[in-house]
């Protein structure tokens, strides 16, 4: 039997021919004590159950992280890595970095022929594409430092879901269907994610993952040692060696997660708290906000030609800096202070013409220097005042689509996030420099941007999204929709998106997201625009704070649409209709 949330979400998704261009959205989910928003409803329920059991937002984030590895296998993971941005009730902000690391045998030219040509697909599929996973280490670091519950308590729901299985819905099988051809190339993966006759799983089928249940049970009992030492890494090394990979058990033994200070910047009276390198998210987000702060976006109007021009130009300059200068801080010096300086943003504004696009070829680095969209994000707020924004990934859908026999763990293809060749495009079309070149033990640059927004020291927004290089613009535009345009939380998530990333020199926009008139004006300004199917899956929580944007929005006075206004003191969760398997739940 299909779950109710899926039927309603799918109905909205299927029956509306233009789902993202609309006068109104359904109200966000409202709650008083706690809120969890994830891209898979069963994982959302796990988070809420942990909060109701007395766990805090960090406990719920860890429980959701493990649950997503079971019920959202394309993107949730213990075979990948990511970032967690945390706001504690005592006012402290912190950041857990559990990004993957390159194996010791990795080299800068490992995906090139002797002639220097890229080997197609070599950094995307198979064992050679895999970096050392960090999720298990990161989740345990967060729980041990800031959680209240035991490891066994927060992992129990994921173990049960893996052992007993869960009934697939259409929203689940749509994602599985995208990778059926690659499932068939790995017998261990095929045994789990295809029917016994080799055909795709269907809505109503039960997906059981008994090997994964055993791996999770060992981690619950023995902690990260069960993952980074002993049986598991040996199994991975053996499978990797047989498949032409380079990752070893010793690589697992040398992995470490780190706790860092998050980056912060201000925008129109709000403070953004976001990811530092090896994420590019916080730097690029803040640099873009600093540029935009000099413009009156509200007066331009949502998705007007003037607004799209201003946003695209700001992104063009920010992504040029991102792709040129940023990398793993253990290996390169990131010019964070310079890139996040408001005076530097003002100098970039001086280069933006009012009615003309700046060709990307004209943007040169200040100094000459010698990601697939299937990430997943979730947002959590508890009644204590803690908030967690987590983004983690296996990179491409189902990662490298390889699995060591007996483990149940899909491995990432995160090596593609490195610069596999200077000047060449990666999976997301990003053209990156030497700062992000491959080196043993190095973490690849990421666009993951788990972000918190505070007002007067109190949590206002918890947000983030999957989407590869578009994560930054999804997170940015969702926040702008609320702060500059006064949208309600669900409207802010549902609104059509645009994206520019320096190269290719194109403005991408969602299907039916821009009018013909707007496209005409942009074309005359020198823009090349490209319509694409909707992308990303923003997971947003908004807190009703006094004086904050979008709180207590009045009605027009001549309509009956009086529901959905944000009330003081309440929590509002908005799941993205672009990912109908997800949900927002509160209590």
| pLDDT band (50, 70, 90) for residue 39 | very high
- Using the predicted structure, report yes or no on whether residue 430 has a pLDDT greater than 60: no
Of 420, 419, 432, nearest to 503 by C-alpha is 432
| pLDDT band (50, 70, 90) for residue 373 | low
Beta strands in 399-506 (DSSP E): 451-455, 458-463, 498-499
Residue 92: what pLDDT? Answer: 97
Residue 234: what pLDDT? Answer: 98
- Using the predicted structure, report yes or no on whether residue 17 has a pLDDT greater than 50: no
- Using the predicted structure, report yes or no on whether residue 558 has a pLDDT greater than 80: no
Contact (Cβ atoms closer than 8 angstroms) between residue 225 and residue 136 = no
- Using the predicted structure, report yes or no on whether residue 2 has a pLDDT greater than 50: no
Torsion of CA 519, 525, 528, 533, to 10 degrees: -30
| pLDDT band (50, 70, 90) for residue 11 | very low
Quick check: bond before 278 cis, omega within 30?
yes
User: How far, in whole angstroms, is CA 540 from its chain's centroid?
Assistant: 12
Residue 367: what pLDDT? Answer: 39
Q: Which residues are catalytic?
A: 375
Comparing 293-307, 347-361, 456-470, 554-568, which segment has the lowest mean pLDDT? 554-568
Record the tokens describing residue 41, joined without a space.
């409803």
Record the tokens describing residue 149, joined without a space.
């519950």
105-120: average pLDDT: 91
Collapse the DSSP code of 6 into the 3-class scheme (helix H, G, I; strand E, B; otherwise coil) and give the result.
helix
Contact (Cβ atoms closer than 8 angstroms) between residue 482 and residue 490 = no
- Using the predicted structure, report yes or no on whether residue 413 has a pLDDT greater than 80: yes
Chain mean pLDDT for the chain: 91
Beta strands in 66-222 (DSSP E): 81-87, 93-98, 166-167, 206-207
Of 142, 450, 392, nearest to 272 by C-alpha is 450
Percent of the chain with pLDDT over 90: 84
| pLDDT band (50, 70, 90) for residue 436 | confident
99 phi and psi, to 5 degrees? -65, 150
140-167: average pLDDT: 98
DSSP code of residue 29 = E
Residue 552: what pLDDT? Answer: 72
Residue 19: what pLDDT? Answer: 41
pLDDT tens digit sequence for 560-574: 555 678 999 999 999
């Amino acid at each position: 039997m299909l779950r109710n949330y899926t039927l309603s979400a799918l109905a909205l998704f299927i029956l509306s021919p233009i789902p993202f261009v609309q006068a109104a959205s359904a109200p966000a989910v409202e709650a008083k004590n706690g809120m969890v928003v994830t891209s898979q409803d069963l994982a959302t329920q796990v988070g809420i159950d942990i909060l109701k059991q007395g766990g805090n937002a960090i406990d719920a984030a860890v429980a959701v992280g493990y649950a997503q590895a079971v019920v959202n296998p394309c993107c949730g993971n213990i075979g990948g890595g990511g970032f967690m941005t945390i706001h504690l009730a005592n006012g402290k902000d912190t950041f857990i970095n559990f990004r993957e690391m390159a194996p010791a045998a990795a080299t800068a030219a490992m995906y090139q022929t002797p002639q220097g040509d890229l080997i197609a697909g070599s950094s995307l599929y198979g064992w050679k594409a895999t970096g050392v996973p960090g999720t298990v280490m990161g989740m345990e670091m967060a729980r041990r430092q800031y959680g209240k519950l035991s490891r066994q308590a927060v992992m129990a729901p994921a173990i049960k879901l893996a052992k007993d299985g869960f009934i697939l819905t259409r929203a689940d099988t749509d994602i599985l269907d995208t990778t059926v051809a690659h499932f068939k190339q790995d017998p261990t993966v095929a045994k789990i994610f295809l029917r016994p006759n080799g055909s795709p799983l269907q809505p109503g089928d039960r997906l059981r993952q008994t090997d994964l249940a055993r791996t999770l049970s060992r981690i619950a009992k023995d902690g990260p040692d069960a993952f980074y030492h002993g049986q598991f890494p040996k199994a991975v090394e053996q499978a990797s060696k047989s498949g032409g990979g380079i990752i070893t058990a010793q690589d697992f033994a040398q992995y470490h997660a780190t706790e860092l200070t998050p980056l912060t910047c201000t925008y129109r009276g709000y403070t953004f708290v976001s990811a530092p390198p090896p994420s590019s998210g916080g730097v690029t987000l803040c640099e873009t906000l600093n540029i935009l702060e000099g413009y009156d976006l509200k007066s331009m109007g949502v998705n007007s030609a003037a607004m799209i021009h201003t946003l695209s130009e700001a992104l063009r300059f920010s992504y040029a800096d991102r792709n040129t200068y940023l990398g793993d801080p253990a290996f390169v010096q990131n010019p964070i202070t310079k890139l996040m300086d408001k005076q530097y943003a003002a100098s970039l504004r001086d280069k933006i013409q009012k009615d003309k696009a700046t060709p990307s070829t004209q943007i040169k680095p200040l100094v000459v220097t010698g990601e697939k969209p299937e990430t997943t994000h979730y947002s959590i707020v508890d009644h204590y005042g803690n908030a967690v924004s987590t983004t983690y990934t296996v990179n491409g859908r189902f990662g490298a689509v390889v699995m060591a026999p007996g483990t149940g763990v899909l491995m990432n293809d995160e090596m593609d996030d490195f610069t596999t060749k200077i000047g060449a495009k990666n999976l997301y079309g990003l053209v990156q420099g030497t700062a992000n070149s491959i080196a043993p033990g190095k973490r690849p640059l990421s666009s993951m941007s788990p972000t918190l927004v505070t007002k007067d020291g109190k949590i206002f927004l918890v947000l983030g999204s999957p989407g590869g290089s578009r994560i930054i613009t999804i997170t940015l535009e969702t926040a702008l929709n609320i702060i500059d345009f006064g949208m309600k939380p669900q409207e802010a998530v549902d609104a059509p998106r645009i994206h520019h990333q320096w190269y290719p020199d194109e403005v991408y926009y969602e299907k039916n997201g821009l009018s013909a008139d707007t496209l005409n004006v942009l074309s005359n300004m020198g823009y090349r625009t490209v319509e694409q199917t909707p992308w990303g899956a923003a997971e947003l929580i908004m807190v009703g704070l006094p004086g904050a944007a979008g709180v207590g929005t009045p009605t027009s006075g001549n309509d009956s649409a009086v529901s959905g206004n944000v009330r003081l003191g309440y929590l509002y969760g908005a799941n993205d209709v672009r990912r109908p398997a997800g949900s927002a739940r509160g209590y």
